[in-house]
Structure 1
């Protein structure tokens, strides 16, 4: 085994240029999620050919082609999947081993306005690879591809099957792409999700909800003594409360075993709207004010419980005034993303932690909860395939100048290859 470990490391080092080139190729495709539509097709078709050239069995399909998807309890309606194909590729094992899937998404969030370079023109500077989607999560996708390619080119025959998938519509609470692959039948013994964890092993992750909270009142100038209730004032109080609410939550920690020391549950005001934006001038207060918020939660918390907790706290803080106001309305902007946790006894967790620690000389590999929401719940809630999250070292996901650290990224390829080898098992050494 030690000999194989060294061969894998040497192969990864020798193939750095090929590995980084595929990341750059995928980043050069604009695959920004448009919330209700998307444009992942060209990148997915390119990727499918890469996987076919590796000799893998490749399945290309749109979510809407999957029988039973819309009837599934995890399906979220309203999305358009025209020309938005998933790609699933499989390397068949020789038999007798466990199966594994690497599950990534091709879509990205919108490019932030502060980018110092073209987000789709990837650049290498000071040991970092910059570009939209490098960190979240085209880098992790490429790492999984080259982990499999490494084992192929070293002539290693796996016992169990290994799959690589690239789904559409994960950002903005999509998850139907991931669900479609599960409904289509791709449910192996374990899943690794290459979301950006900075090489932490994450068997659990946050959930989250995004709402538009609408405050209503009445407008006018009170020339005749009318009582004016400006909803912008109420919304302002709500925002002040949210800042306090976020701080209070950080003191509590979360559920065992992965979130006991988790003191980061973001509450983010993402947009404010009030008044007639098309009017040349507004000379009176608005009748409505909208506050869009993103609120994260721990595993085991429902959307209804989260909304109630927010509103109970808001009512309590402004108990002397609250009855004078109209009740705020919560309108769902995206699907609720439940937080989930995998049982700590699941053997892939310890295996990943041990391999990551060894490959990185104990610098990485801690077992913790992921501080973000993602579509792992589609595995953990609706299938018998436990999903563990581990991905690249980098920075600025969903922000300008997103990047991965190249040296640590190459170690991720090595980690994925060794994990595939151990989890799936192997028979012999062949000649390619």
Structure 2
């Protein structure tokens, strides 16, 4: 195995330029998720040809082509998948080994304001590759593809099948693209999701909900002694409460084994809206005030439980006033993303951690929970394929000047390739099992 590790490392060093170029090529495609529609098609077709050129079997399909897609309990309605194809590539093994899939998404969030450079022209500066989606998650996608390319070009004969997929509609609580691949039958023995974890091995992750909370009252001027209830004032108190709610939850930590010391559960107000935004001047209070918010939770918490926890805490804080107000209403803006955890005894967890530690002299490979929500639940809730999250080192996901660290990216390719070899098994030059 030591000889194989040296071969992989040498190949990665020699092929840095072409791997970085592929990330740049994918970044150059605008694949922004438009919530109900998307723009992934051209990038997906480009990628499908890259994978065919590697000699892989490639399946290109839209989610709605998959029988049973809309009837599945994990399906979230209202999305348009016209011209939004998934891409799944497979390298079949000789038999007798375990199978593995790398599952990434092609869509990105919008380009946040404040970029100092063109978000779609990825460029290198001080060992970092900047561009929209480099960190989340085109860098991880390319790392997985490059690991497969490395092994093929080195002539490895794998025993187990290895697959690489690029799905559509993951951002903004999508996950229908990931679901479609599961229904289509791509459910191997294990999955690695190359989301940006800074090369931590994450067998669990947060869940989250995004709501529009609406507060109502009555408007006007109290010229005749009318009782005015301004919903903007109530919303302001709700926001004050959210700060306390966030701080209180973070004192507790989370479920074992991955979140015992997790004291970061974000509660983010994403938008406020009140009053007639088209009127040149408002001389009275609004009749409604809307607060959009994103709230994260640990595995095992349902959307209903999370909403109840929020409302009950708000009611307790303002017990003397709450009964005078109209009850706030919660409207789901995206699907609820449940947190999940994989059994700590699942062997891929330790294998990934060990290989990452060896490849980086112990700098990376710690086992922890991912502090974000993603589409892992589509594997962990609806299939028998446990999904582990592990991806690039970088920063500024969903923010200006997103980047990946290039030296760490090269190490990630090496780690993925070594993981494939050890998980799937391979035949040596004489055709013997190794």
State the TM-score bracket (shorter-chain normalisation): over 0.9
Q: Is the counterpart of residue 332 in structure 1 residue 332 in structure 2?
A: yes
Distance in 1, matches of 2:11 and 2:55, equals 19
In 1, the alpha carbon distance for the partners of 2:270 and 2:73 equals: 29
Q: Counterpart of 1:177?
A: 177
Give the corresponding residue for 1:26: 26
Alignment pair present for 1:215 and 2:215: yes
* Partner deviation per Cα, 1:236-275 (whole Å, 9 max, x = no partner): 0000000010011110000000000000000000000000
- Which residue in 2 is equivalent to 1:417? 417
> What are the superposed Cα offsets for residues 85-126 of structure 1, whole Å, 9 maximum, x if unpaired?
000000010111000000000000010011011100111000
Query: Counterpart of 1:384 in 2: which secondary structure?
Result: coil
Q: Secondary structure at 1:320's aligned position in 2?
A: helix
Structure 1 residue 430, shift from structure 2 partner: 8.6
Shift of 1:147: 0.1
Per-residue CA deviations over 1:23-51 (Å, capped at 9, x if unaligned) read: 00000000000000001000000000000
Alignment-derived partner of residue 13 in structure 1: 13
Give me the whole-angstrom Cα distance separating, in 1, the residues matched to 2:383 and 2:416.
22
1:229 equivalent in alignment to 2:232: no
Kept after mapping to 2: 8 A contact 1:203/1:349: yes
Q: What SS does the aligned partner of 1:101 have?
A: strand
Q: Is the 8 A contact 1:155 1:430 kept in 2?
A: no
Structure 1 residue runs of 4+, over 6 Å off? none
Q: Which structure 1 residue ranges, 5 or more long, are not aligned?
A: none
Task: Identify the residue that residue 92 of structure 2 maps to in structure 1.
Answer: 92
Report the equivalent of 1:113.
113
**Per the alignment, in what secondary structure is the counterpart of residue 324 of structure 1?**
coil
Q: Give yes or no for the alignment of 1:156 onto 2:156.
A: yes
Q: Separation in 2 of the partners of 1:225 and 1:128?
A: 64
What SS is found at the alignment partner of 1:173?
coil
Equivalent-residue separation in structure 2 for 1:359 and 1:244 (angstroms): 42
SS in 1 for 2:73: coil
Q: Once superposed, what is the RMSD of the aligned Cα atoms?
A: 0.8
For 1:401 and 1:335, how far apart are their aligned partners in 2?
28
TM-score by length of 2: 0.99
- d(CA) in 2 for partners of 1:213, 1:280: 26
Residues 201-236 of structure 1: CA distance to partner in whole angstroms, max 9, x if unpaired? 000000000000000000001111110000000000
Match of 1:63 in 2: 63
1:278 match: 278
For residues 229 and 114 of structure 1, the distance between their equivalents in structure 2, rounded to whole angstroms, comes to 38
Does residue 51 (structure 1) correspond to residue 61 (structure 2)? The answer is: no
CA contact (8 A) 1:216 1:288 kept: yes
Q: What residue is the counterpart of 1:82 in the other structure?
A: 82
Aligned partners of 1:157 and 1:430 also within 8 Å: no
For residues 222-371 of structure 1, the aligned pairs below 5 Å read 222-371=222-371
User: Normalising by structure 1, what TM-score?
Assistant: 0.99
Secondary structure (helix, strand or coil) at the match of 1:422 reads helix
Q: Give the Cα separation in 1 of the matches to 2:222 and 2:357.
A: 68
3-state DSSP class of the match of 2:148?
A: helix
Question: How far is 1:429 from its partner?
Answer: 3.3
Secondary structure (helix, strand or coil) at the match of 2:323 reads helix
Residue 156 of structure 1 contacts residue 430 of structure 1 at CA under 8 Å; is this kept in 2?
no
The CA distance in 1 between the partners of 2:157 and 2:367, in whole Å, is: 30
Could you list the runs of 5+ residues in structure 2 that have no partner in the other structure?
Answer: none
- Please report how far the alpha carbon of residue 428 of structure 1 lies from its aligned counterpart in structure 2 after TM superposition: 2.5
Report the counterpart of residue 426 of structure 1 in structure 2: 426
8 Å CA contact 1:179–1:378 kept in 2: the answer is yes
**Secondary structure of 2:172's partner?**
helix
